[in-house]
Amino acid sequence: MPQAYFDAQPSPEEIERRLAGLGGWFEIDLDRLSANLKAIRDRTGAEVMPVVKNNSYGHGLRPMCSALVQDGVKWLMVAKLSEALAIKSWELPCDVVLMDAIYTARQFHQVVEHNIIQVVYTLAPVQALNDAAVAHGRKAGVFIKVDTGLRRVGVDHNHAIDLIKDIAAMPAIEIKGVFSTLMQQDDQDKVILERYQAVLDQMATAGIDPGMRSMASTHGIFHYPHSWFDMVRPAMCLFGVYPWAPDRGSGLKLEQILTFKARIEELKPVAKGETVTYFGKYTASRDMRVGTLHVGFYDALPRELANRGTVLIDGTPCPAIGSVSLNHYLFDATDVSAKIGDVAEVISRAAVNDLVTTAETAGWMIYSLLNHLNPVVPRVYLRGGTPVALHEVPV
């Protein structure tokens, strides 16, 4: 059950005690997560199936899944069988849709045994699922992926109805949904929606229930109301991230839920003309005080932030200076009152160094930054400003 994860956590006081000994951590606000989920529900009026692949885009798989199910989410979508099996082992009361390709008899039996809903788009895996389901004396659920133009995976929309009829005829298979994906290109997406609707119309003519009809992921939620159908599949927008500049004008108000914090490890004077970090990457233009944080490229920070990033000290922006090392990040502390052990916001919710701005400053896509968040960096989860969970991965 979702509450079981939070019930098993240390007390807020114990989490604070442990936090005092951390050099860097990601802080994740579950109230903002709840608010974003509500905003998406209110906007679309559709069932929400969060896409929590890749460690919930760096936010932590188990804490995110537990919090989302607490907030009434009934479906989760993942990319890997290992993710689906992990969620099922936590006994969360929700369906899990798996996008991973599976190949072996053991995998087909695992999917059936654990009631995982498998994404399918060719006949052979469906037949293997049917055989496994018969062996287990139950039905296997499938989500059918239709390729309407993206041309990654999926049954071609021109031939989809033939496959769908074959699937519907299998005795131990239940169609739970039919979905596709927008191309995120206006002129193409109009055609993609028409192709998807044509497949749904063919199913209706054949008397086949499509289950959940789903097209919109984050981009569709922002820009294409006609793509909302029965179910939407948010990922980054759920975490309060607007991937592209036009998304901010979509009318959907979201709040970034993640902050990257670190303690000041060292403060030292650097005289005008002296250089800082490898290769003398930065030369002091004045007598300075330089702060060092014990975080770096290993944790989340692109090396391209060298001499370009920003750190917040008590809300005051301080320029990052020198190269980004594997485990060190330096900043100009000359104009702020700071001492060793104080907390800096390496990635904040302020526009000057929020997730999107940090990615853009480095010349990265926000997708790349989120999926670069190191899973072994501790994650602290807050409700009402109080820590309710501490997630640490052994190394």
Q: For residue 348, what is the DSSP state?
A: -
Give the integer Cα–Cα distance in Å for 155 and 140: 19
Per DSSP, the three-state class of 381 is strand
Residue percentage of the chain with pLDDT more than 90: 97
Residue 1 pLDDT greater than 80, yes or no = no
Per CATH, the number for 31-238 is 3.20.20.10
Give the integer Cα–Cα distance in Å for 225 and 227: 5
pLDDT tens-digit readout, 281-312 = 999 999 999 999 999 999 999 999 999 999 99
Length of the chain counted residue by residue: 395
**Minimal CA–CA distance to 282: which of 296, 269, 272?**
272
Give this prediction's pTM: 0.96
**What are the extents of the domains in the chain?**
31-238, 258-377
Mean pLDDT (whole number) for 149-175 = 97
Per DSSP, the three-state class of 280 is helix
pLDDT tens-digit readout, 92-141 = 999 999 999 999 999 999 999 999 999 999 999 999 999 999 999 999 99
The pLDDT of residue 146 is: 98
User: Of 3.40.50.2020, 3.20.20.140, 1.10.3720.10, 2.40.37.10, which CATH number belongs to 258-377?
Assistant: 2.40.37.10
Residue 393 pLDDT greater than 90, yes or no = no
Mean pLDDT (whole number) for 344-353 = 96
Distances (CA, A) of 324 to 17, 189, 221, 262, 293: 29, 40, 36, 14, 10
The pLDDT of residue 375 is: 95
Structure tokens at 362: 């480095």
The pLDDT of residue 185 is: 85
Local confidence band at 2 (pLDDT 50, 70, 90 cut-offs): confident
Residue 359 pLDDT greater than 90, yes or no = yes
**Minimal CA–CA distance to 319: which of 337, 302, 331?**
331
**Minimal CA–CA distance to 344: which of 313, 299, 316?**
313
The β-bridge relationship of strands 258-270 and 343-347 is antiparallel
